[in-house]
Amino acid sequence: MTATGSQPSGPAPASGPSILIVDDEAAARTLLKKVVQTLYPLAQFHEASDGEIALRIARTARPDLVLLDIVLPGSDTSGVLVCRELTKARIPVLIVSGNASGPVLDACLSLGAADILRKPFTLEDAQARIGYCLGT
């Protein structure tokens, strides 16, 4: 019922999770989007090619999950810094990386990243880690 006591007209629109994909490579963002869509066809997407844009989007969009490539261009907004800022804001982060060293990935986990998806990844592994981070 609505505040006036009448029934709403029609079912509420279904929606999926809001996902922010952060990677400096457009092809990687497209691939991750397709992977998420296999699990959540109604997911809503935001994309960023660097850390500064990612933080700006995250502050306003408050995504349910950020898929974050840890190696990003620009020294002021490294992937580790972005991870720290997102986890401080209680936004779940899944690190996606094929180039980062063990200590960098360990630092992200200690900052509160939910999990790590190493490139190259299989569809099954990506689906499992994304599902885990979204609690499904």
Domains and CATH numbers, the chain: 18-133 (3.40.50.2300)
Mean pLDDT of the chain: 87
DSSP strand E in the chain: where? 18-22, 44-48, 65-69, 93-97, 115-118
**Higher pLDDT pick, 133 / 4:** 133
pLDDT of residue 75: 55
Radius of gyration (Cα) for the chain, nearest Å? Answer: 16
Per DSSP bridges, beta strands 18-22 and 93-97 are unpaired
Summarised one tens digit per residue, pLDDT across range 35-88 is: 999 999 999 999 999 999 999 999 999 999 999 998 887 656 688 999 999 999
- Read off the pTM: 0.86
Q: Does residue 8 register a pLDDT over 90?
A: no
How far is CA 111 from its chain centroid? Answer: 16
pLDDT of residue 100: 67
